[in-house]
Structure 1
Amino acid sequence: MTIGTPEIALLCLLAILLLVGAVTDWQRRSIDNWLTATVALMAPLYWWAANLGLWPDIAIQVAVASIIFAIGIGLFAMGAMGGGDVKLLGGLALWFPGLVMMRLVIVMSIIGGILTIFMLVRHKLMKIEGPLEIPYGIAISLAGMWAIYERNLNHFG
């Protein structure tokens, strides 16, 4: 599989946006709307650069993203996930086909579990008052960067 310059440029921009999302979520426990919107709105440019067909490629990605976003809304309603996390994950789902997204969610869950343990230990050691807040945007972003690498740059696996 060869990828062209526009596709590489868009993937690099996505990686930068994911990094910004991870940093802001760590610092403020918030992911800005402009960032999540940019991730989602850049996906059609990526589809064009990657020469994806409207049917079934793009249709499947939109369907998978819609399902992931709907599940995320449910998690948000239960207080299990932040709104920025849901929007970032939904926007990110527009970039990858279903199987890659399933792997991304598994990697995200593993990273999220490790992050949760780290934050719990940090919360106890630093005697931080109030509820434990997990900046899950970090797990989403790292899993997204893993998916970019694994799908497009790792030609040996």
Structure 2
Amino acid sequence: MLLVIYSDLRYRIISNALVMVTSLMVLVYCYQADVLSQWLYAIPVFGIGFLLWWLGVFGAGDVKLLAVLVPAIDPAYHLFTFLMIAFSGGIVAIATLLYAKLVTKNNDTTVPYGISIALGCWLGILASLS
């Protein structure tokens, strides 16, 4: 997760390699916890995410990251997770825009939403473990 946050913050890219490593870790976790069926939740998340990417709301790396992290989260905590992603996303967006306006004087910037996805999903995974 820390590499995803660093990569998205520094380069605004979540590489396919990072997503694949994350996917393998989630797959191993789901196998160990006997919740492989939760991978079915990745399908609608990816589908809706693809639509949001197509509309220009999210980056493709953000969509892939969220789709591979959702299976590790107990469905009872999905709403909590999405609310945490939205809440932290708002904070990251405000901080990014303020930094762009005040420090770099750059009006054309993107929000590293992978940070919010990683943090929100991390909280969802932790809640699922209890």
Q: TM-score, normalised by structure 2?
A: 0.90
1:67 aligns with 2:44: yes
Which residue of 1 is the match for residue 127 of structure 2? Answer: 150
For residues 41-77 of structure 1, the C-alpha deviation after alignment (integer angstroms, 9 at most, x for no partner) is: 333311221133xxxxx33x22321111111101110
Say whether 1:42 aligns with 2:25.
yes
| CA 32–124 in structure 1, closer or farther in 2 if over 3 Å, else same | same
Q: Distance in 2 between matches of 1:43 and 1:114?
A: 27
- Bigger radius of gyration among the two: 1
Alignment of 1:1-157 (within 5 A): 18-52=1-35, 58-59=36-37, 61-152=38-129
Q: Secondary structure of 1:51's match? A: coil
Say if 2:29 and 2:72, in contact at 8 Å, map to a contact too.
yes
Q: Note the C-alpha offset of 1:108.
A: 0.4
CA deviation after TM superposition for structure 1 residue 127, in Å = 4.5
Q: Residue 14 of structure 1 aligns with which residue?
A: none
Would you tell me which structure has more helix in proportion to its own residues?
2
CA distance in 2, matches of 1:126, 1:137: 22
Conserved in 1, the CA contact under 8 Å of 2:77 and 2:127?
no
| Paired residue type of 2:40 | A
Letter in 2 for 1:138: I
Unaligned runs of 5+ in 1: 1-17, 53-57
Do the aligned residues in 1 keep the contact of 2:41 with 2:70 (CA within 8 Å)?
A: yes
Runs of 4+ residues over 4 Å off in structure 1:
none
| Stretches of structure 2 lacking an aligned partner (at least 5 in a row) | none
2 CA distance for matches of 1:33 and 1:25? Answer: 12
Structure-1 separation of matches of 2:31 and 2:41:
18
**Residues of 2 paired with 1:47 and 1:149: CA distance?**
14
Q: How many residues align?
A: 130
User: What is the TM-score when the length of structure 1 is the normalising length?
Assistant: 0.76
Paired letter, 1:66? I
Aligned amino acid, residue 72 of structure 1:
G
